[in-house]
């Protein structure tokens, strides 16, 4: 999942607050590919993914959709619209059958007032997204594409707890902001080093420890607390 490690909102809430969030939310079921929101929409609600996944995209001037992030179960989007009264920044569409919880502004504000921990959690998640954004910008300035690709694959593999991660070249190219040809070359380089294997819509990190060691040798640091994926 290309979520960059964003912590799921439902996991971050206490059982009491989580139960009230679910009680105050309406449920919405979306079919695969169904548009949930468009950039520029004024829609005062927080969406929480109960089942399925959501692709956040932005349209380039030539009409091509650029994937920004893919969110999974428990994660949320739309909080900045509520916090800053700004239009939606991205298009969002369902990946597979997806069930959403929709928390309207009135309920959102009531929870914020009733439970200080709810407000702290929302601000913490916003700060986490800001940290991820700044980290990605730093990577773009300092790392070459082979290193950026390796770092992203390693992060995805360790989070998912398995060596093979389901992602295609088109999505990788959009997320890293480069062409599919460039991503193909980067994957080919890592494969030639014996660090990954590629298949249809899937990339397998052969040995996360070896990839982490290679990344450390190139940029001076790797992923801390690296866990071996379970096979």
Task: Domain ranges for the chain, please list them.
Answer: 9-138, 144-219
Q: What kind of architecture, by CATH, is found in domain 144-219?
A: Orthogonal Bundle (1.10)
More confident position, 192 or 154:
192
Mean pLDDT of the region 25-43: 93
Counting runs of H as helices and runs of E as strands, what totals does the chain give? 9, 9
More confident position, 229 or 46:
46
**Would you state the structure tokens that stand for residue 43, as one six-digit string?**
């829609």
Q: How confident is the model at residue 225 (pLDDT cuts 50, 70, 90)?
A: very low
Mean pLDDT of the region 133-151: 90
Q: Is the pLDDT of residue 140 over 80?
A: yes
- What's the number of CA atoms in the CB half-sphere (13 Å) around residue 111? 26
Query: Which residue's entry shows tokens 């060596």?
Result: 163
Mean pLDDT of the region 83-103: 91
Q: Are 47 and 99 in contact (CB under 8 A)?
A: no
Q: How confident is the model at residue 177 (pLDDT cuts 50, 70, 90)?
A: confident
Distance CA 130, CA 192 (A): 35
Q: How confident is the model at residue 81 (pLDDT cuts 50, 70, 90)?
A: confident
Task: Kindly report the length of the chain.
Answer: 231
H-state helical runs in the chain: 9-12, 15-24, 79-84, 105-114, 116-142, 145-160, 169-176, 180-192, 208-219
Distance CA 194, CA 207 (A): 9
pLDDT at 229: 40
The least confident of 60-64, 146-150, 181-185 is: 60-64
Q: Is the pLDDT of residue 168 over 50?
A: yes
Q: How confident is the model at residue 51 (pLDDT cuts 50, 70, 90)?
A: very high
Q: Is the pLDDT of residue 48 over 90?
A: yes
pLDDT at 130: 85
pLDDT at 163: 60
Q: How confident is the model at residue 231 (pLDDT cuts 50, 70, 90)?
A: very low
According to CATH, what is the number of the domain 9-138?
2.60.120.10
Average pLDDT, the chain: 87
Q: How confident is the model at residue 216 (pLDDT cuts 50, 70, 90)?
A: very high
**Would you state the structure tokens that stand for residue 196, as one six-digit string?**
């990954």
């Amino acid at each position: 999942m290309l979520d960059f490690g964003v912590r799921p909102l439902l996991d971050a809430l206490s059982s009491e607050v989580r139960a009230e969030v679910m009680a105050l939310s309406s449920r919405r079921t979306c079919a695969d590919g169904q548009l949930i929101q468009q950039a520029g929409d004024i829609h005062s609600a927080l969406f929480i993914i109960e089942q399925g996944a959501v692709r956040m995209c932005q349209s380039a001037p030539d009409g091509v959709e650029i994937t920004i992030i893919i969110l999974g179960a428990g994660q949320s989007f739309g909080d900045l619209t509520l916090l800053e009264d700004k239009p939606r920044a991205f298009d969002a569409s369902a990946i597979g059958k997806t069930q959403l919880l929709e928390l309207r502004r009135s309920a959102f504000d009531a929870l914020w007032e009733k439970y200080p921990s709810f407000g702290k959690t929302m601000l913490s998640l916003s700060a986490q997204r800001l940290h991820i954004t700044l980290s990605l910008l730093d990577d773009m300035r300092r790392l070459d594409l082979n290193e950026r690709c390796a770092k992203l694959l390693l992060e995805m593999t360790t989070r998912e707890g398995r060596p093979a991660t389901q992602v295609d070249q088109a999505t990788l190219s959009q997320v890293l902001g480069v062409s599919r040809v460039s991503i193909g070359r980067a994957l080919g380089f890592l494969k030639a080093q014996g660090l990954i294997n590629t298949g249809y819509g899937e990339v397998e990190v052969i040995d996360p420890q070896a990839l982490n060691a290679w990344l450390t040798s190139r940029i001076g640091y790797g992923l801390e607390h690296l866990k071996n994926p379970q096979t």
